[in-house]
Amino acid sequence: MNLQNKNKGFTIVELLIVIVVIGILAAITIVAYNGIQNRSNTTAAQSNAGTIEKKAQAFNSINAYYPKDETAFNSTDESKLDSGIKIVTGNTTNKNEVRYVPCPAGQDQPTGAKISYYDFSA
């Protein structure tokens, strides 16, 4: 009786193909995750800007002018409309920051305001 000794296992080519396929799938997943995360951060920034807009309009309806700086939003005084969102005067790079600029700038009682946020998906 002649028994042949067969080696069972995968060849190096088969193993390399599996490793390459796993690498491609991992790269696709990472790229997709980053895109979803950027859209999520942009949506959070839009929501924060909308909140500040509503609070500025409410402030205007109470006081007949818009807040002249971010301190009106960060006070515990209820007439100043407290907000948990960080308001900055420079450029924003954080999803929890909203840029608030009174218009026209330099007046004691602004007649409007510009509210902006950082777009992470751009």
Asked if the model's pLDDT at residue 9 lies above 50, the reply is yes
Q: Average pLDDT in the 101-119 region? A: 78
Q: Average pLDDT in the 105-111 region? A: 71
pTM equals 0.65
* Letter string b/e over residues 94-109, b meaning 16 or more CB atoms within 10 A of that residue's CB: ebebbbbebeeeeeee
pLDDT in tens, 50-100: 888 888 888 888 888 888 877 776 655 544 444 556 777 677 777 667 888
pLDDT score at 79: 46
Angstrom distance (rounded) from CA 40 to CA 94 = 12
Asked if the model's pLDDT at residue 103 lies above 90, the reply is no
Beta-ladder partners of 55: none
Provide the CB-side half-sphere exposure for 96 (13 A, CA).
Answer: 4
pLDDT score at 34: 86
pLDDT score at 84: 54
pLDDT score at 94: 72
